Structure 1
Amino acid sequence: MKINEKNLCAYSVSPTHIDKEGYLLKKGEVNKNFQRRWFVLKGNLLFYFEKKGDREPIGVIILEGCTIELAECEDQFTFKLVFHGGGGRVYVLAADSQESLEVWMKALARASYDYLKLMVAELQKQLDELNDTESQGKGGGGEEGHPPKAPHRQRQNPFNRTQSSNEVTLDPTLAMRMRANTVSGGGVSQYLSSAIGAMPHRTAPPPPSVAHILVNRRTFAQIHSEYGVPILRDKELYLQRKAQQEGVGDAFKSQGQEKAASPVLVMNLVDI
């Protein structure tokens, strides 16, 4: 397994995702003595530090493929983490009290991924049983083993319904007069019945035939040319008016230049 030590150290001292933390006694591998260490449980990772507040852990225990068991020491509240398989290691830990021992053993036993899989399977089983019980309770009123069925109803498209003899389309002018005139009391029904009875029945015009559509169909180039004619005509008129305005402006400009040159001519004649 490849582990990024820098990221793992940063994760161990982060204040988030802490499931359990506290002091425990850890039995050493060399001198076999118990040493007091600060333990932090995050998911399936059990970090241990020399003391609380250290920035780097001494080590980490990955709680996968192990069992939590009571140790043989009777004078202390000890338990052990036993890793199975070839070269399995045993970590011996001790708590300060019986209550702390039980809390730590439960927390460590629930930290592994295998425990989460078992919990998910058990919860799924309970959910399936509840769904079966609910479905059986709902199906009690119908036939045995089958839920009651709703009566079959034929669906109809409202846009495909034919107009019956009782359906009448109001004339637009009549509808405007009805909105403009306020009729109170029983006069509303009388007014509507008399107006509807006097109206002739109107039928919708037939849709255009396919041949008519094909004959009158125009291409995009034809439509473009048809709508482009007035635009080109307006553009030509605009250019003509602009040219006329520019011609008038040039005429006024030339006249002004002639007037400015006339005093010089007069002065020359006087000198002569």
Structure 2
Amino acid sequence: MKINEKNLCAFAVSATPIDKEGYLNKRGEVNKNFQKRYFVLKGNLLFYFDKKGDKEPVGVIILEGCSIELAEDDAQYSFKIEFHGLNNRSYILGAESQESMEQWMKALACAGYDYMKLMVTELQRQLDDVEETPMPITPTQSTGSPVPPPRTRHNPFNRPDNPHQRSHSLRSSNSAASRMGDSRYPDASLANGTSKFTITFRELHNSHGRPILKDYNYWKYQQKEKHDNCVDNLISF
């Protein structure tokens, strides 16, 4: 594999997202002692630096065609990156705790192309299962089933159970009935406002207005006759 070292170094210190970073102890290839290095994981590339903040990495490990396994070293919380095949090197890394070791092993195991391909295949299978599952059919109303009554609107300000919101026609009829006490008004006893009965102005006029007008006209006719009689008596003298 041909690698452009300049571009690789620029990518290592660029502002691209970092999957995981931190210090690990790395066993040397010639010197078998562990040396502390700062590791940065970006995708399937594992960079390591002498210390955090360096401008260039010391090396890079391409996480393809390898497996992440526990190492046999008991002195460290160590694991290894094992490359399969002839003349392939294995990297042995040590963490500071059991938790840190497990986190690094999981992150490195999920970084390779093979794992991503496996995840895409599994997600595609789940998507196919969802698309093949028939959607539940909502039961529609049958022909012979009863149809619910239509919603009716009402005036919220005209509630008969609230005496402060009764209609004007009810107040007018009750006041007229209470003043007259006429038995011709059949619901005069309901003047306390507890009834839902209402009366229009036309009905009120037919019940009371016309008799009152008839009595007034009769009284006016009598007054006119008296006046005419007086005038005739004066003329006769």
TM-score clears 0.5:
yes
2:85 corresponding residue in structure 1: 85
Matches within 5 A, 1:22-171: 22-135=22-135, 137-138=136-137
Amino acid of the residue matched to residue 99 of structure 1? E
Compute the displacement of 1:127 (Å): 1.1
Identity %: 69
Compute the displacement of 1:75 (Å): 2.8
1:19 corresponding residue in structure 2: 19
Q: CA-to-partner distance for each residue in 1:113-142, whole Å, 9 max, x for gaps?
A: 11000000001111111222235x45x98x
Compute the displacement of 1:87 (Å): 1.3
Amino acid of the residue matched to residue 92 of structure 1? I
1:7 corresponding residue in structure 2: 7
Amino acid of the residue matched to residue 125 of structure 1? R
Q: CA-to-partner distance for each residue in 1:187-228, whole Å, 9 max, x for gaps?
A: xxxxxxxxxxxxxxxxxxxxxxxxxxxxxxxxxxxxxxxxxx
Matches within 5 A, 1:201-220: none
CA distance in 2, matches of 1:4, 1:134: 52
CA distance in 2, matches of 1:18, 1:82: 23
Q: Name the SS for the 1:107 alignment partner.
A: helix
CA distance in 2, matches of 1:31, 1:105: 24
How many residue pairs get aligned? The number is 139
CA distance in 2, matches of 1:13, 1:85: 31
Matches within 5 A, 1:120-269: 120-135=120-135, 137-138=136-137
Q: Which has the higher helix share?
A: 1
Q: Name the SS for the 1:18 alignment partner.
A: coil
CA distance in 1, matches of 2:118, 2:134: 25
Q: Name the SS for the 2:80 alignment partner.
A: strand
State the structure with more CA Rg: 2
Report which structure shows greater RCO (CA 8 Å, sep ≥6): 2
CA distance in 1, matches of 2:25, 2:32: 12
Compute the displacement of 1:4 (Å): 1.1
Q: Name the SS for the 2:46 alignment partner.
A: strand
Q: Name the SS for the 1:124 alignment partner.
A: helix
CA distance in 1, matches of 2:8, 2:49: 13
CA distance in 2, matches of 1:134, 1:39: 49
CA distance in 2, matches of 1:51, 1:15: 18
Compute the displacement of 1:76 (Å): 1.6
Q: Where does the alignment leave 5 or more consecutive residues of structure 1 unmatched? A: 142-272
Q: CA-to-partner distance for each residue in 1:63-83, whole Å, 9 max, x for gaps?
A: 000000001112321000000
Amino acid of the residue matched to residue 114 of structure 1? D
Q: CA-to-partner distance for each residue in 1:22-51, whole Å, 9 max, x for gaps?
A: 000000011100000000000000000011
CA distance in 1, matches of 2:43, 2:80: 18
TM-score, scaled to structure 1: 0.49
TM superposition outliers: structure 1 runs of 4+ over 3 Å? none
Amino acid of the residue matched to residue 45 of structure 1? L
